[in-house]
Amino acid sequence: MKLSPSCQNHPTPFYYYDLGLLKETLRTLLRESGKYGYQVHYAIKANANPRLLKLISHEGLGADCVSGNEISRALECGFPANRIVYAGVGKSDEEIELALREDIFCFNCESLPEILIIQELAQRLGKKARIALRINPNVDAHTHHYITTGIEENKFGIYLYDLEHVLSEIKNLSQIELIGLHFHIGSQITDMTVFRGLCLRANEILQKLKEQGIVLPHINFGGGLGIDYQQPEQNPIADFKSYFATFSQFFEPAPHQQVHFELGRSVIAQCGHLVAKVLYVKEGKKRKFAILDAGMNDLLRPALYQAFHKIENISSDKPQEKYDVVGPICESADCFGKDVHLNQTQRGDKVVIHSCGAYGETMASRYNLRNVPDSCYSEE
Ligand SMILES: *Cc1c(COP(=O)(O)O)cnc(C)c1O
C-alpha cells in the first residue's frame, strides 16, 4: 500500500483515510440497496469523524445513533433529523429529551421501562415519539461473543416471550406511536445463512402480529455485515450484493412496508488505516518484537476482541521475517499481532495496520496519558 503524497510526512501515529475508496463503497452500497428500495442508515459509532460523516450524509444515507452526542454530531454533519434512528439499552433522560426536541425519525426501544419514560418525557414536552421495538430474535450470529447481540442471554432488545405484553401496554400510551420493529443480531457476520435465519424469524414474528391485526410500516434489520480482514486489498468493498439479495430473497414484507438497515463496519472499515512508526526492534531468544509508536489506546480491537488486522511494513522491501508487533503501553494486551510476516524491519520504518476505519478512531483513549491519534486524508 502507498500513502497519498499529502500524508507521507504526517507525524505518526495517525489514521489514514482513503476517501476515494469510501466513495466507491458508498456508491456500491447505494446501488445494491437501491435495487430493492431499502433505506440505509450509517451506524455512527463505527466512526464519528466529522469529515467522513459529511461525506456519508452527502451521499444520502441516514444515521443510526446510540447516544445523545451522536445525535448532535449527526445533525452537525448534515444528516437530516427525519433520517436519524436512535438505539441503546440505556438512554438517559437528557438524551431522550434531546431526541424528542430534535424530532428524530425513530427511537429503537429496548424495554418497557424505557418506553414508559419516553412517554412521560414526551408528554412533558408536548411531543409524540415514533418508536420501533428492538426485538431480541434469539438468532445466533456465530461471531465473537463480545459482538453477538441477538441471543437471549444478553442485555439487548425485548425478549420474544415479552412482546405481547409490551404491545398491550403500548396501546395505552398517548405520546407513543409504534411504527416498526428493529433487529440487530451482531457484527462482523460474513455467513449469509445467519441473515437468512434472521429473515425467517422476522417473517414468523410479523405473521403472528398480523394475526393480531398489527401491521407496522417499518422493519429495521440493523447492521452486522462483515468485511475481509484477512485480504483487505483483494476485497476492499464488502459483499453488499449478497447481503441485500439475501433479505430480498427471504424476507417477506407486507405491502408498502419500508425495510431499513444500519451498517457501520462494512461502510467504513476498509477505508481506514492506522499508520505507525517502528521505534525499536527488540530481539529475544525466541521472538523478535517490532515496537511501534502506536498502541492499544489508538486501536483497541486486537486487545478487546483478539481481532486480526493485516499489518504491512511499507518502508522496507527486504525479505520477510516474523515479528510480534506491539505498542508502547504497559499492558501485555498491547499487541497488534503475533508472528506477523513483515519485510525485514528497522527503526524508523512505517507500518500500516489495515482495515481500521471501523471501531478504531472512535475507541481511541488517552490511556497512559497518550495523545489521541490524529488523522490524514487521501485526496478525493
Ligand atoms: C453497532 C450497531 C450497528 C452497526 O453494526 P455494524 O456491525 O458495524 O454494521 C447497527 N445497529 C445497532 C443498533 C448497533 O448497535
Q: Report d(CA 11, CA 348) in Å as an integer.
A: 12
Specify whether 166 is located in the same domain as 303: no
Q: Which residue owns the Cα nearest ligand 1 atom 3?
A: 223
Length of the chain: 380
Residue 9 falls within a domain, yes or no? no
- Measured in Å, residue 255 CA sits from the centre of ligand 1 at 27
pLDDT band at 143 (very low <50, low <70, confident <90, very high): low
Distance 320 CA to ligand 1 centre (A): 37
Q: Are residues 260 and 274 in the same domain?
A: no
- For a mutational test of ligand 1's pocket, the pick from 39, 45, 84, i.e. the residue with the most ligand atoms closer than 8 A to its C-beta, is 45
Query: Are the beta carbons of 314 and 16 closer than 8 angstroms?
Result: no
Tell me, yes or no, whether 228 and 257 share the same domain.
yes
Q: Which of 269, 295, 321 is the last residue of a domain?
A: 269
Q: Is 75 part of any domain?
A: yes
pLDDT of res. 139: 84
Work out the mean pLDDT of the chain and round it to a whole number. 95
Residue 294 belongs to some domain of the structure: yes
User: What pLDDT does residue 156 have?
Assistant: 83
pLDDT tier at 79, thresholds 50, 70, 90:
very high
CATH of the domain at 198: 3.20.20.10
Tell me: pLDDT of 152 over 90.
no
Whether residues 187 and 279 share a domain: the answer is: no
Among 269, 301, 320, the domain-final residue is: 269
Query: Do residue 84 and residue 29 come from a single domain?
Result: yes
Residue 154, pLDDT above cutoff 80: no
Domain end point (choices 226, 250, 269): 269
Q: What is the pLDDT of residues 270-296, one digit of tens each?
A: 999 999 999 999 998 999 999 999 999
216 and 318 assigned to the same domain: no
Amino acid type, 325? V
Q: Is residue 171 part of a domain?
A: yes
Pocket (CB within 6 angstroms of ligand 1): 43, 45-46, 64, 66, 87, 184, 187, 222-225, 262-266, 358
Q: Considering the domain boundaries, does residue 210 fall inside one?
A: yes
- Among 47, 56, 64, name the best residue to mutate to test ligand 1's pocket (greatest count of ligand atoms within 8 A of Cβ): 64
Tell me if 343 is assigned to some domain.
yes
Q: Give the CATH number for residue 280.
A: 2.40.37.10
**Is 147's pLDDT higher than 70?**
no
Check whether residue 239 and residue 90 sit in a common domain.
yes
**What is the whole-number distance in angstroms between the Cα of residue 366 and the centre of ligand 1?**
24
Does some domain include residue 184? yes
**223 alpha carbon to ligand 1 midpoint, in Å?**
5
Under the banding of pLDDT at 50, 70 and 90, the label for residue 141 is confident
User: How far is residue 128 CA from its own chain's centroid?
Assistant: 28
All cell numbers assigned to 49: 469523524
> Do residues 216 and 130 both lie within one domain?
yes
206 & 332 share domain: no
Give distance in angstroms: CA of 144 to centre of ligand 1. 14
Instruction: Evaluate if residue 146 carries a pLDDT over 80.
Output: no
Cα-atom radius of gyration of the chain, to the nearest Å? 22
pLDDT for the residue numbered 264: 98
User: Tell me, what's the pLDDT at 93?
Assistant: 98
When pLDDT is cut at 50, 70 and 90, the band that residue 379 belongs to is confident
> What's the number of domains the chain is made of?
2
- Judge if 226 and 248 occupy the same domain: yes
Regarding whether 253 and 302 lie in a shared domain, the answer is no
Expressed as residue numbers, the domain containing 25 is: 19-269
SS3 assignment for the chain: CCCCHHHCCCCCCEEEECHHHHHHHHHHHHHHHHCCCCEEEEEHHHCCCHHHHHHHHHCCCEEEECCHHHHHHHHHCCCCHHHEEECCCCCCHHHHHHHHHCCCCEEEECCHHHHHHHHHHHHHHCCCEEEEEEEECCCCCCCCHHHECCCCCCCCCEEHHHHHHHHHHHCCCCCEEEEEEECCCECCECCHHHHHHHHHHHHHHHHHHHHCCCCCCEEECCCCECCCCCCCCCCCCCCHHHHHHHHHHHCCCCCCCEEEEEECHHHHHHHEEEEEEEEEEEECCCCEEEEECCCCCCCCHHHHHCCCCCEEECCCCCCEEEEEEECCCCCCCCEEEEEEEEECCCCCCEEEECCCCCCCHHHCCCHHHCCCCEEEECCC
Same domain, 89 and 177: yes
Mutate which of 39, 47, 136, 184 for ligand 1 pocket (most atoms within 8 A of beta carbon): 184
Q: Is residue 290 part of a domain?
A: yes
Its pTM stands at: 0.95
pLDDT digits (tens, 9 = 90+) for 167-221: 999 999 999 999 999 999 999 999 999 999 999 999 999 999 999 999 999 999 9
